[in-house]
Structure 1
Amino acid sequence: MGTMQKRANGTYTAKIRRKGFPSLSRTFPARSEAEAWMAAQEAAITARVTATQAIEDQQRIAAECAPQYRVFGDLMRRYLDEVTPSKRAASEEAVRLRGLLKHPLAACPLEGLSAARVAEWRNERMNRVSGATVNRDMNLLGHVIEIGRREWEVDFEVNPFQLVRRPPQGYSRERRLFPAEEAALMRACTVTQNPYVRPIIVLALETAMRRSEIVGLEWERVHLHEPSVQLTQTKTGRPRGVALSSRAVTALSALRLASGGEPKGHVFPGLTPNALKLAFRRAVERAGIADFRFHDLRHEATSRLFEKGLSIMEVASITGHQDVRMLRRYTHLQVSDLARKLG
């Protein structure tokens, strides 16, 4: 507020005091001049207050509004931060998403992410990986779009990944591990820097457990006296018990002894699925084995279970296949047994 004071010599002193601003005063020979100066100063202060308030309002509105997404990678990164960690296979999905973030598709503006652009990416991806891998990538990226549409107010009338043809899955891999290859692989494991690779390979061949199931194995669920393990975190989300062969028991007993006799927690502490994948790949290369992946150990183990004479339902109870039709690919292993039964 401004105030005016008439002095004894006939001049006028104008004063302005306002909270948050320094006090102002000036003396004029005429009252009209003092009033004009005071009005100008108050207008200037009011303008500064208004501008400051406008900036604060803009900042508040920006903080309250949903974040602005410009390219597909913006959605992928938010999905990686907020959605992926809640999944059972979070570490594996994180690796997959980070790899996809390096593809030019991640730099595509959202308004340009059309079915045609997705189809172009699919075709290019098919030149590098299998149809099954492309389908898994499309499932993941399609879910990124769905979460964006439903929860993050991203403006997509339709999901472009749902408009594009899926590549054929192709035939299931039939890669078996020959005895000479297994011996070479075990020898290669003796010089690896990771001491867990060899016992993990043994467990995979004896139990048909998945990589993530082995990495997540805990001593509290390993029962060597009643040779079995109880899996609580599985791909299907359903816990299951897995019987242990004598070879698997020997491998686990050696690990328990090396860990102090009564260990607790993870059987393979500090090991991640991706670290195991890389360590296994190095061991395979060192052994001179071509075209062999960690998941092929599960196929080999399942084949050996059938070769031991187990029924489809017995094998399914060990491998965790919810749909026994997935095991029909192994029925050729029982043809000779059927022939003997037919006489």
Structure 2
Amino acid sequence: MATLRNRNGKWQAQVRIKGHAPRARSFTSKKDAQKWARQVEGELEASALRVDLSSLDRTTVRDVLERYRREVTVSKRGEASENKRLDGFTRQAWVEKPLSKVTAHVFARYRDQRLRLVSPGTVIRDLGLLRTIFEVAMTEWDLPLGENPLAKVRKPKTPQARERRLAAGELEALLGACDGVRNDWLRPIISLAVETGMRRGEILDVCWGDLCEETATLRIPVTKTGQPRRIPLTEGAANVFQSIRPARPDMRAKVFSVSPNAVRQCWERLKRKVAAELPVITDLRFHDLRHEAVSRFFEMGLSVPEVALISGHRDPRMLFRYTHLRAEDVGAKLRSAA
């Protein structure tokens, strides 16, 4: 159905037909607006005859989510975490809605409800995944949705970048407490995180064959971006590998044969152990060690390209989010230069 209205001296024509995104355009004359509206109506109605819009009544949001889980999520490195997010979606009432009833308003209400329970960052990731799912459904599965129902849903304001760095004595306390744990891998994993800036998953995926002692470099085979990278090792990182290297290592064997969940649980237990003397350490996340490492690289005088080579960041803007230089340290440099 077409509607015309005069606005600010121009005629605006808008065409709305079920199963298609609304279309609008402005003209200087009413005649041109009417002509354009008739033409668009004809095109949309003709295409509607070729598309089975009844499939939207027969397909629920749950159907789309489960198909995405089977065909897309299963091939991702972050399959486990994405499955948890999908499980959360399937507990919502709107998953039983047919696609013909799904609108931006449904997900706007979901956004507002979630914001009362979780952080804006979590909600942004939820909405991003849902938008991707519907985009795949439209472009690859030919579901005749007029538009992505998430396209017009406003995202919450991006939370301020986390600026947590190691305070004086925290690293020493953590490493010292590692002497009392039953495993022998937690201490070197923490040390490598601070010395290399590698993510937890990257550390756990490294094999002995990825280490080149002659050049003091390490190949990181599996990364978040999907692009392997080779990084230089600090003296501290090289010493860590040297201290745990078997006499005759299997080049195909992983340096740490441990699961991410085991590292997470041991990390939390270690923090609780140290918290008796340093209560603030309960706020420290393992990923903060990556922030610490990147900041230290800049403090060493490395350039942005050099730090990006080590950290794997492709976008300098993201690299700066991981960089937390201390104002007092920069001030000391300024005074020494003067």
TM-score scaled by structure 1? 0.70
Pairing 1:147-162 to 2, within 5 Å after superposition:
147-162=136-151
SS in 2 for 1:147: helix
The answer for unaligned runs of 5 or more in structure 1 is 1-65
* SS, match of residue 161 in structure 1: coil
Moved more, 168-177 or 144-153: 144-153
Whether 1:316 and 2:308 are equivalent positions in the alignment is yes
The 5 A counterparts of 1:112-261 are 112-192=101-181, 195-257=184-246, 261=249
* Contact 2:304–2:316 under 8 Å retained in 1: yes
Indicate how the Cα distance of structure 1 residues 156 and 198 shifts in structure 2: closer, same or farther if over 3 A, else same: farther
- Which residue of structure 2 lines up, in the alignment, with residue 269 of structure 1? 257
- Give the CA deviation at 1:148: 1.9
Tell me the distance in 2 between the aligned counterparts of 1:140 and 1:193.
Answer: 39
Q: Provide closer, same or farther for how the CA distance between residues 152 and 132 of structure 1 changes in structure 2, counting only shifts above 3 A.
A: same
* Distance (Å, rounded) in 2 between the aligned partners of 1:79 and 1:224: 43
Report the residue type matching 1:119 in the other structure.
Answer: A
Which secondary structure state, in structure 2, belongs to the residue aligned with residue 160 of structure 1?
A: coil
Displacement of 1:245: 1.8
Partners of 2:265 and 2:148 lie apart in 1 by 34
Query: Aligned pair in 2 of structure 1 residues 188, 142: CA closer, same or farther (>3 Å)?
Result: farther
Deviations 1:111-136 (A, max 9, x none): 44321121111122223333222222
Distance change (3 Å), C-alpha of 1:286 and 1:156: farther
C-alpha separation in 2, matches of 1:283 and 1:125 = 31
Shift of 1:153: 3.9
Aligned pair 1:290/2:311, yes or no? no
**Secondary structure of the corresponding residue to residue 302 of structure 1:** helix
1:341 & 1:326 partners in 2: Cα distance? Answer: 30
Which of 275, 294, 307 aligns to 1:302? It is 294
Indicate the residue corresponding to 1:47 in structure 2: none
Instruction: Indicate conservation of the 8 Å contact 2:163/2:324, yes or no.
Output: no
Contact 1:230 1:242 in 2 (8 A): yes
What SS does the aligned partner of 1:229 have?
strand
Q: Please, what is the CA RMSD of the aligned residues?
A: 3.0
Instruction: Check if 1:76 corresponds to 2:65.
Output: yes
Describe the SS at the equivalent of 1:241: strand
Number of residues of Structure 1 aligned to a counterpart in Structure 2: 276
Aligned pairs (5 A) from 1:35-46: none
What percentage of residue pairs aligned between the two structures are identical?
39
Structure 2 residue identity aligned to 1:336: G
Measured against aligned partners, the alpha-carbon deviations of 1:179-198 in whole angstroms (never above 9, x if no partner) come to: 32223322444455654332
Alpha-carbon displacement from aligned partner over 1:284-304 (angstroms, at most 9, x marks no partner): 333322222222111011111
- Which amino acid is 2:274 matched to? A
